[in-house]
Structure 1
Amino acid sequence: MLIRTILKTFPNWYKIDLCHWKKILQENRPRSLKKRTRPAVLTTDSSELGWGAVLTIQKESKVEKIYVHGSWTPQESALAINEKESRAVLRRLQRKGA
């Protein structure tokens, strides 16, 4: 009730804008007012034998990709796949200069 009373004092263009944003909020879809860029994306994968990673870096209009990979120890080969996937990310982050 109070909101309706307050809205009556607002200009029409403002009411239309508020209704627009209310609708967007009700859709519950994340949106950004600012265009976001991803300067780097890390993609990893692992299997029973080893792991691999690609670091994709966006520099202005140029894209650079850095590839790294490795093998598991016999003890690591026995781990669950989700543990191996996590270790693949960690291994990539631990590599210096690659």
Structure 2
Amino acid sequence: MTESEFLAAAEAALGKIEAALEQAAESTDLDVECKRSGNVLEIEFIDNGSKIIVNSQAPMQELWIAAKSGGFHYKQKGGIWLNTRDGSEFFTALAAMVSAQGGVPVTL
């Protein structure tokens, strides 16, 4: 994958997260605020002050997540972002992290 292909895929993923969380905040009791600065998306949970940070790492061609449950790296394979250690899928894992920290079931 070229750097431009990676940047486009990473941008699409971050945009999808923002849109999904905005919709979840409107349709459920999830109280989150998303802040975007370049390749970094900060998800803040208003009720408890915790955060999840999602960012793209162009040199590694990975998406990284930092959450209460730990730090995770995801690389795209066959159009799907997969955890570099256990093979779990990015959006499924992030939804579980958001659900755990936000106290509301969320699907991304």
Q: Provide TM-score, normalisation by structure 1.
A: 0.29
Q: Provide TM-score, normalisation by structure 2.
A: 0.27
Structure with bigger gyration radius = 1
Larger strand percent: 2
Larger helix percent: 1
